[in-house]
Amino acid sequence: MDAENEQQNGTPAGTDATATAAVAAEQDGSGRSAVSRRAVIGWAGAGVALGAAGVGSVAAATRQDDPAPAPAAAVGGDVPFYGDHQSGISTPVQDRLHFASFDVSATATRESLVKMLKEWTKAAAAMTGGREVGSGAASGLPEAPPDDTGEALGLPASRLTLTIGFGPTLFEKDGVDRFGLKARRPEALIDLPKFKGDNLDPQRTGGDLCVQACADDPQVAVHAIRNLARIGMGTVNIRWSQLGFGKTSSTTPDAQTPRNMMGFKDGTHNIAGTDTEKLGEHVWVAPGEGPDWMTGGSYLVARRIRMHIETWDRTPLKEQEDIFGRTKGEGAPYGKAKEHDTPDLKAMPEDSHVRLAHPDSNNGLMILRRGFSFTDGTDGLGRLDAGLFFLAYQRDSRKAFVPLQQRLAASDALNEYIQHVGSAHFACPPGVRKPGEWWGQALFG
Ligand SMILES: C=CC1=C(C)c2cc3[nH]c(cc4nc(cc5[nH]c(cc1n2)c(C)c5CCC(=O)O)C(CCC(=O)O)=C4C)c(C)c3C=C
Ligand SMILES: [Fe+2]
């Protein structure tokens, strides 16, 4: 089977389910055989998984018969890698995050960067399809280190998505155009301004490239970043990374809204992944809006926001609710009974978070929020280093995150309980449309 026979969603076409069951090898988009991670556990194991978790293994067994995309909430299913937009943006939010920001090493060249991006793309297509990287973890040459580190062996794809972004410093760093990309930098990819109250740690800020790995299994997300870092060794170094859990946003309006570390429903009024009109209006870069290589892409702002949860936990319920302008239990806007009732902004305190952030207070602007909670041990002063790793996608950060954050930084009652300690801005190109194409091809082309 050649690579071109792979369908848009990255699954091989044209053979029946039984054949799929019998053949452990799949294509990784490069024409090379890639081992299915699920095949490694054998059909007895797969049968158990089928009975227990169901959908993911069903997807593995029937993927070649059924061209329909996996259901949004499929546990263990594959999210299509190929498409007009990168997955991991409007995709229903998974449970876990591993986000990595990379710097290109001082010795790297444009050629070595391109080579790495090609290898990353093949590896990403394989891993998001639940397959091993290259010749796998345990089936390569005995004399060579395995292509895949192996800790995801036997695990399903777990709805893994890998989303790449390019930071401002890739285009120009300290006045140097290292990779001949300066003229291709989108005007929208600004160095974010300093906002009131920012206390940014340089070691958790910026980066030449980023990869957002989201999956329902943390091991799968961590494995993906680790394997990309391994492939990139010598070309890129991890500048900082962030693990996240307990998604704090919903892009699936019918699903139960998750709660953040402050105990409030977070993601009630977000852009739904199915709302193509709002995605077109607020998230995807339109043709002619900046350089062609960004058409269909999106701009990502990442903020590590520390929460002073010990102080928060001593704050009375009414005060907590006043801070958001929504009730804690139901998540209803003030003056209304139900979470999804249309808010009456005037019923909320003037400095409440929701009143200030609502589109009606901001000339209709919206962002797609995709954040995760984090706890990273203690801060050395006996307090948890916990908070929200805020991720927001938008068509132009200059017209979305920046004015919104300026407003929040100036007046939000929530500011007493939070501090922004890390920040980064990335241009996320459109999707890789078919096998053989690679991340950043139009940028470097
Ligand atoms: C610059 C944008 C935003 C930052 C930074 C931000 C931080 C932040 N938010 C919460 C908790 C909640 N936010 C909620 C709504 C909400 N927040 C933003 C933007 C930022 N939040 C927007 C655009 C909205 C939607 C407003 C609306 O249209 O109604 C909510 C309410 C529930 C919801 O709709 O999601 C909560 C809760 C925290 C804890 C936080 C920083 C740590
Ligand atoms: Fe918010």
Q: Does ligand 1 have an atom closer than 6 angstroms to the CB of 269?
A: yes
CA geometry: angle at 287 spanning 284 and 293, to 5°? 80
Eight-class DSSP state of 131: B
DSSP 212-260: EEEESSHHHHHHHHHHHHHHTTTTEEEEEEEEEEEE---S-TTSPPPB-
| Helix, coil or strand: residue 122 | helix
Q: Cα(95) to centroid of ligand 1, in Å?
A: 19
Q: Cα(337) to centroid of ligand 1, in Å?
A: 20
Inform me whether the pLDDT recorded for 60 exceeds 60: no
Beta bridge partners, 176, equal: 173
DSSP 174-215: TTB-TTS-GGG--TTSPPPPPPTT----GGGS--SEEEEEEE
CA-wise closest residue to 70 among 6, 159, 162: 159
Measured CA distances, 162 to 25, 84, 211, 216, 332 (Å)? 22, 14, 6, 13, 34
- In Å, the largest CA–CA distance within the chain is 70
The predicted-structure confidence for 227-261, as pLDDT tens digits, reads as follows: 999 999 999 999 999 999 987 777 777 788 999 99
Token pair 């369908």: residue? 7
Q: Does ligand 1 have an atom closer than 6 angstroms to the CB of 247?
A: no
Q: How high is the ipTM of this complex?
A: 0.99
The predicted-structure confidence for 402-427, as pLDDT tens digits, reads as follows: 999 999 999 999 999 999 999 999 99
The predicted-structure confidence for 118-174, as pLDDT tens digits, reads as follows: 999 999 999 999 999 999 999 999 999 999 999 999 999 999 999 999 999 999 999
Token pair 């209304």: residue? 336
Report the distance separating Cα 440 and Cα 445, nearest Å: 8
Dihedral sign for Cα 38, 34, 112, 444, please: negative
Q: Does ligand 1 have an atom closer than 6 angstroms to the CB of 355?
A: no
Ligand 1 atom at minimal distance to the Cα of residue 250:
35
DSSP 14-34: S--HHHHHH--EEE-SSSSEE
User: What tokens does 360 get?
Assistant: 């009606």
Q: What are the backbone dihedrals phi and psi of residue 433, each rounded to the nearest 5 degrees, phi first? A: -85, -30
Q: Cα(390) to centroid of ligand 2, in Å?
A: 9
- The pTM is what? 0.87
The predicted-structure confidence for 347-402, as pLDDT tens digits, reads as follows: 999 999 999 999 999 999 999 999 999 999 999 999 999 999 999 999 999 999 99
Q: Does ligand 1 have an atom closer than 6 angstroms to the CB of 408?
A: yes
CA-wise closest residue to 4 among 29, 24, 35, 23: 29
User: What tokens does 417 get?
Assistant: 């309980």
Contact 369, 322 (CB under 8 A): no
Q: What are the backbone dihedrals phi and psi of residue 441, each rounded to the nearest 5 degrees, phi first? A: -55, -45
- What is the percentage of the chain residues whose pLDDT exceeds 70? 83
Q: Cα(354) to centroid of ligand 1, in Å?
A: 6
Note every long-range contact of 281-285, with CB atoms under 8 Å and residues 24 or more positions apart, other chains counting.
281/366, 281/395, 282/365, 282/366, 282/367, 282/368, 282/394, 282/395, 282/400, 283/89, 283/90, 283/368, 283/393, 283/394, 283/395, 284/85, 284/395, 285/188, 285/395, 285/396
pLDDT of residue 76: 63
